[in-house]
Amino acid sequence: MKNTPSASHLGVKYPIIRPSLPDLDELRRKMDGMWSSGQVTVGTHVRAFEEAVEKKLGVRHAVEVSSCTSGLILAVRALGLRGEVIVPSFTFAATAHALSWNGIVPVFCDSEPDTLNLDPGKIEERITRKTSAIMPVSIFGVPPKVAEFERIGRKHGLKLVYDSAQALGAKVNGKYVGGFGDMEVFSLSPTKVVTAIEGGMVTTDAAVLAKKIRQMRDYGKADDGEDMTYVGLSARMSELHAAVGLANFKRMADLIRERGILVSLYKKLLAGLPGIRFQEVPVNVSPSHNYMVVFVDGSGGVTRDTLFKRLKEEGIQTKRYFYPAVHNMTAYRIMKRRYPGKLTVAERAAREGLALPLYGDLKSEDVEYICSRVKTVFGRK
C-alpha cells in the first residue's frame, strides 16, 4: 500500500488525513481489464467488492454507491420515510442533508457527554406523530448504543437508518456493524480508514430494500433497463473506485490496528494536560479509529481555537470537528429557534473538538512530535 505525497509544499508538514492507496502497478493491471472489456461501472469489481463486504460483515446485501450521502438519500427514499426523522446535531451535515433532500424535517437531538453519540435517553421526548425514523451516527467511528435504539424503534414503530459513514470495521459486542437497523450506510471517501477514493455503501439484511437501492442507484431503472420503477439517482460506483476500495478493504484489519496504536499513543502523551479530554469508547465497542479528536475546554488557559491556530503555524493541520453543530449552520438557521439551550452537549462538543493528524503512514515519532507541539502551546515541555 502507498500513500499520497506530502503536503509540505503547501506549508503543511502533517496533513489532517492522507488516504491509504493500493499499489499503482496492481491497480494498473486491474485497469487493463476494465479498458479492454469496456465495463467501467457497476461491473465485476463492484460486485466482488460487495461480496467481500457481505462475507466479512456478515450481512446479506451490500450495495456500492457513489457516496455515503447518495446512499443515505436513497436509503431514506427506499424506506418511504416521511415527516420527521430524529438525528444528532453533533455530526457531519450530510446526515441532515439526506433528509432535507427527501423533504423530511431533521429533528435534532443532543448527544451523550461521554461517547458524543446520539443520546437514546433524549429520543422519546423528540418523538411526535410525524416521526418516521431515527438516524443514529457512529461518531468518529464509535458505534452508538444499538440495543437501545432497537428497543426504542420497536416500541414506537420507527425505522432505523444508521449513518455509519466513519464506522466501517467497527464492532459492537464482537459483531461488525453493518447489519443493525433497517439499513446502514458507510462512506469510502478519502478521509475514511477504508477508502475507494470516493464512494459509499449501503448494507441491509432485507432483500427487497437491497433490490430497491440497486435500482435506485441507477436512476430507478426497472429490470428491463428501460422503464423506471422508482425515482432514483445517478449514484453508481465505477469499476476503478471499486478496485481501489476492495484492495483497501482486504487490509481493513491492519489499517484499523495501525491507527489504534497511534490513537493510544496520542492519548498517553496528551493525558493530564489541563482542559483536554477524549471521546470515551464503551467496553463492548471496537472503534474504527477514523479520527483522533481532542476536546479543549479552555480551563487550562488554552482554547480550542488557539490550539488550532498555533498548530497551523507549526505546519500541523487540524480540523474543528464537527463544527459548528448542524442546527447552528447557516443552511439550518431557520431551525435555530427550536433549540435554544436544548442541545448543550452537542454545542459544547462542536465548540471544543479538534481532530489531529491520523493516517496510515504516520509514525510514532510523528505523533510524539505533534504532541510535543501541543504541550508547548499549553506551556509544558
At 283 the pLDDT is 97
> Grid coordinates in use for 251?
487490509
Q: Is the CATH number of domain 252-377 3.90.1150.10?
A: yes
For residues 200 and 53, the answer to whether their CB atoms sit within 8 Å is no
pLDDT (tens digit, 9 = 90+) per residue, 235-263? 999 999 999 999 999 999 999 999 999 99
d(CA 117, CA 107) in angstroms, rounded, equals 15
The residue to which cell 437508518 is assigned = 161
At 267 the pLDDT is 98
* Average of per-residue pLDDT across 130-140: 98
Q: Where are the domains of the chain?
A: 20-249, 252-377
Q: Say yes or no to pLDDT of 3 above 50.
A: no
What is the DSSP code (8-state) at residue 115? T
pLDDT (tens digit, 9 = 90+) per residue, 267-318? 999 999 999 999 999 999 999 999 999 999 999 999 999 999 999 999 999 9
CATH number of 20-249: 3.40.640.10
The residue to which cell 502523551 is assigned = 269
Q: Say yes or no to pLDDT of 1 above 80.
A: no
Q: Quick check: helix, strand or coil at residue 299?
A: coil
In this structure, the chain runs to a length of: 381
Phi first, then psi: what are they for 64, rounded to 5°? Answer: -80, 140
Q: Which residues contact 100 (CB under 8 A, 6 or more apart)?
A: 106
Q: Quick check: helix, strand or coil at residue 163?
A: strand
At 161 the pLDDT is 98
Q: Say yes or no to pLDDT of 2 above 70.
A: no
> Grid coordinates in use for 85?
426523522
> Grid coordinates in use for 20?
491509504
At 35 the pLDDT is 85
